[in-house]
Amino acid sequence: MYGWIWRQMPGPAWLRAVESAALVLVVVAVLFTWVFPAIAPYLPFNDQTVGEN
């Protein structure tokens, strides 16, 4: 998978390294902004209120 992504990227190796870093940043930003906040309420250690309301 990662090898395939690397081969799809244009430019010489140094440019591909820069592109990879940018790609990683985008993925982390998407995870932190939307994915993790969406799944956090369903995880057992986040169930900390007792059911009174």
Partner 1 sequence: MAPPEAVAVTEQAQRGSARGRTPTTRRRNTGPGRPASPAARMVGGLGELFITLGVLLGLFVVWQLWWTDVEGTRAAASIVSQFEESLPDSPEVAATPQQGDPPAEVAVGNAQRFGTLLVPDWGPGYKVPIAEGVGRSDVLDVGPVGHYPSTAMPGQVGNFALAGHRQTYGKPFFAIDTLSPGEALIVQTAAAWYVYRVTGTEIVSPDDVGVVAAVPGDPAASPTERMITLTTCHPLWSTAERYVVHGVLDYWVDRADGRPAELVDAGEA
* Interface positions with partner 1 (CB under 8 A): 1-2, 28, 31-32, 36, 40-41, 45-50, 52-53
Closest of 9, 39, 3, 38 to residue 23, by C-alpha: 9
Which one, 15 or 36, has the nearer CB to partner 1? 36
For residue 16, which of 31, 2, 27 has the smallest C-alpha distance?
A: 2
Distance of closest approach, residue 17 Cβ to partner 1, in angstroms: 18
Smallest gap from Cβ 7 to partner 1, in A, equals 14
